[in-house]
Chains A and B, each alone.
Chain A
């Protein structure tokens, strides 16, 4: 009996929450019927809880700024945008659930997902349902394997290739060590391509040291091995929170090579309380720099800071661009809000390959039919706590 009671309790809670959702849903349904077919419904998916929450929250916030700006300026083709962001906890299965939730909400185009593994699973669904998908930061290759999927960021192999080429062509170093996250798709994707390309650029990879999501506190061993192998440059295809730790530990162990990273490293200067002296002379290839002096970036950073009390990172910038890209594609396609997701998908696919857009993460961005973006990666060097452009 006690079990039955507890189940009743659980059920009643579930039902209560269901009705809670129900009333919320009916609330939106009312506004929807009032404005039936007058808004574009854009969905977003990414982790806002769990270990990867930092990326999902950045995307959510960055996209929200773009949505607000567009709506304040009169919307797209005269229609306002509605935005609904769902949590996926950085899990493929949860991500598909989030996608289905958005489908029930009658989403017309998807901005997501934030992380690669869930993105691949969701791309499978959007392709099946023919829903237009634009991922801000899903960088692994199969994320955009279908015609309906595009991305704002570079693909992982592309970053690995560009990094190796940049180091080789500029003669930065010949002995390179890599510290990467072997449990992460992004990190190992870049690393694989870098290692493959290195010999062509006259680079010798002297050490490939890994860490995993389960042991990312102590990097002294990886650094020591890089040091013993005589590395002149340490390549860090990882995210900035781990990189901040690596730089701090390299400093205490007295190891001072050149550090080189990819777009994941962007944000390192904005880590609260980070001693920027540690990042002096670190180089990174990134399409976005929060302290760039162009008006667009300045305005974005200011708004972000005002609304969310933080300096935006590259994920936020990608999301901001993604929303504007969707806007541009909607305008190019002369889409109207009463079109269904399935009607929108083919026209947006064509429109994406035609638009040319200036965004936070690049000027004159264009897309190819296979979903990849054309934009120039910028190499920057950190000098006195600020990005300085390199050529």
Chain B
């Protein structure tokens, strides 16, 4: 019985990683950059909801909506100011800039909200489900997180397959130069990608803080890194890959805590990652890179 509850909690944690990883992987696929500030946008989303719900006393759904708007604007602004001028520069330069942005967001939050932990009121009001005579407890947050991330993943895939913008995104990710020649506005497409990624970050923030209800300026940093690992795990650039990678990461993390050693869980997760990448060098669902001679 406890195995099932470990598994469910792992899936719940994993689906939050997956949600964050979706944002990472989209931005990577299209802009070819690792947006290290993604985790901190999640934190900003969390604080926005906190302010709307607790300080202004608005209902949770409004909080999430405001957070989505705030994060989208923030994401697009950051892209415009900090990343766009570096479009031609080395990918490493953009990576460092992203790290700078990450420090900036953390320190701004520290100055505005202080370092004290804030306890987040869950935005989920679905009651917990109890199975097998209370042996297994499925909290409302777990259910919602899993459902929301599946819906978002399917939605994203449909969006990319069916819509014109989605097709443009695919084209840009394949070949920026060729896409531009075909009349696609590359800059606008990248901006849209950042907008979607940041909106997802806001939702991830809402769910992360609901399931694990503490909020500090550094809340987003570690889940951000873990999600990045998840994205690579699944094959970076691939949307279903990010989803699978996220879930797997959460499950492996929780099962190794449960059955091997809670002290070594981080090491085990990373060791599994190394092994997976050695066997499949581009991740679970990664594309094969063909070598041009």
Residues of A within 8 A of B (CB): 48-51, 53-54, 56-57, 182, 209-212, 214-218, 220-222, 224-225, 228, 240-242, 244-245, 248-249, 252-254, 271-275, 310
In the complex, how many angstroms separate the beta carbon of A383 from the nearest chain B beta carbon?
A: 20
Assess whether A245 is in contact with B212, with CB atoms less than 8 Å apart. yes
Which of A49, A211, A249, A252 gathers the greatest number of chain B CB atoms within 10 Å?
A: A252
Q: Complex formed: what's the CA distance from A254 to B130 in Å? A: 10
Task: Please tell me which one of the listed residues A50, A57, A182, A217 contacts residue B13 in the complex, with CB atoms under 8 A apart.
Answer: A217
Q: Complex formed: what's the CA distance from A268 to B50 in Å? A: 18
In the complex, how many angstroms separate the beta carbon of A181 from the nearest chain B beta carbon?
A: 10
Q: Complex formed: what's the CA distance from A253 to B9 in Å? A: 10
Task: Please tell me which one of the listed residues B9, B121, B141 contacts residue A221 in the complex, with CB atoms under 8 A apart.
Answer: B9
Chain A proximity mask over B96-127: 1 for CB below 8 Å, otherwise 0: 00000000000100100011111111000000
Q: Which residues of A are found within 8 Å of B262, using beta-carbon distances?
A: 182, 209-211, 221-222, 225
Q: Which residues of B are found within 8 Å of A224, using beta-carbon distances?
A: 2, 5-6, 9, 258
Q: Does B88 contact A (CB under 8 A)?
A: no
Q: Complex formed: what's the CA distance from A135 to B82 in Å? A: 42
Q: Complex formed: what's the CA distance from A273 to B265 in Å? A: 31
Q: Does B128 contact A (CB under 8 A)?
A: yes
Assess whether B9 is in contact with A212, with CB atoms less than 8 Å apart. no
Chain A proximity mask over B120-150: 1 for CB below 8 Å, otherwise 0: 1100000010100010010101000000000
Assess whether A272 is in contact with B119, with CB atoms less than 8 Å apart. yes
Q: Does B216 contact A (CB under 8 A)?
A: yes
Which of B116, B128, B223, B261 gathers the greatest number of chain A CB atoms within 10 Å?
A: B116
Q: Which residues of B are found within 8 Å of A245, using beta-carbon distances?
A: 212-214
Task: Please tell me which one of the listed residues B6, B9, B50, B266 contacts residue A215 in the complex, with CB atoms under 8 A apart.
Answer: B266
| Residue of chain A at shortest CB distance from B113 | A272
Q: Which residues of B are found within 8 Å of A242, using beta-carbon distances?
A: 214
Q: Which residues of B are found within 8 Å of A272, using beta-carbon distances?
A: 54, 116-119
Q: Which residues of A are found within 8 Å of B80, using beta-carbon distances?
A: none
Q: Which residues of A are found within 8 Å of B110, using beta-carbon distances?
A: 49, 53
Task: Please tell me which one of the listed residues A54, A182, A275 contacts residue B117 in the complex, with CB atoms under 8 A apart.
Answer: A54
| Residue of chain A at shortest CB distance from B135 | A254
Q: Does B222 contact A (CB under 8 A)?
A: yes
Q: Complex formed: what's the CA distance from A273 to B53 in Å? A: 11
Q: Complex formed: what's the CA distance from A57 to B217 in Å? A: 14
Q: Which residues of B are found within 8 Å of A249, using beta-carbon distances?
A: 212
Q: Does B28 contact A (CB under 8 A)?
A: no
Q: Which residues of A are found within 8 Å of B137, using beta-carbon distances?
A: 252-254
Assess whether A218 is in contact with B218, with CB atoms less than 8 Å apart. no
Residues of B within 8 A of A (CB): 2, 5-6, 9, 13, 50, 54, 107, 110, 114-121, 128, 130, 134, 137, 139, 141, 208, 212-214, 216-218, 222-223, 253-254, 257-258, 261-263, 265-266
8 residue pairs A–B, Cβ–Cβ below 8 Å: A49-B110, A51-B216, A215-B222, A217-B223, A225-B2, A245-B212, A248-B213, A272-B118
Q: Which residues of B are found within 8 Å of A53, using beta-carbon distances?
A: 110, 115, 217
Assess whether A215 is in contact with B212, with CB atoms less than 8 Å apart. no
Q: Which residues of B are found within 8 Å of A218, using beta-carbon distances?
A: 9, 13, 212, 253-254
In the complex, how many angstroms separate the beta carbon of A88 from the nearest chain B beta carbon?
A: 14
Which of B6, B212, B254, B262 gathers the greatest number of chain A CB atoms within 10 Å?
A: B262
Q: Which residues of A are found within 8 Å of B119, using beta-carbon distances?
A: 244, 248, 271-275
Assess whether A252 is in contact with B139, with CB atoms less than 8 Å apart. yes
Q: Which residues of B are found within 8 Å of A220, using beta-carbon distances?
A: 5-6, 9, 254
In the complex, how many angstroms separate the beta carbon of B115 from the nearest chain A beta carbon?
A: 4
> Closest 3 A-B residue pairs measured CB to CB?
A53-B115, A241-B117, A54-B115
In the complex, how many angstroms separate the beta carbon of B265 from the nearest chain A beta carbon?
A: 6
Assess whether B263 is in contact with A182, with CB atoms less than 8 Å apart. yes
Assess whether B257 is in contact with A222, with CB atoms less than 8 Å apart. yes
Q: Decide: A273 near B121, CB < 8 A? Known: A218-B254, A252-B139, A254-B137.
A: yes
In the complex, how many angstroms separate the beta carbon of A258 from the nearest chain B beta carbon?
A: 20
| Residue of chain B at shortest CB distance from A272 | B118
Q: Complex formed: what's the CA distance from A275 to B118 in Å? A: 11
Q: Which residues of B are found within 8 Å of A228, using beta-carbon distances?
A: 2
Q: Which residues of A are found within 8 Å of B50, using beta-carbon distances?
A: 273
Q: Complex formed: what's the CA distance from A252 to B128 in Å? A: 8
| Residue of chain B at shortest CB distance from A50 | B218
Q: Which residues of B are found within 8 Å of A248, using beta-carbon distances?
A: 119, 213
Assess whether A221 is in contact with B213, with CB atoms less than 8 Å apart. no
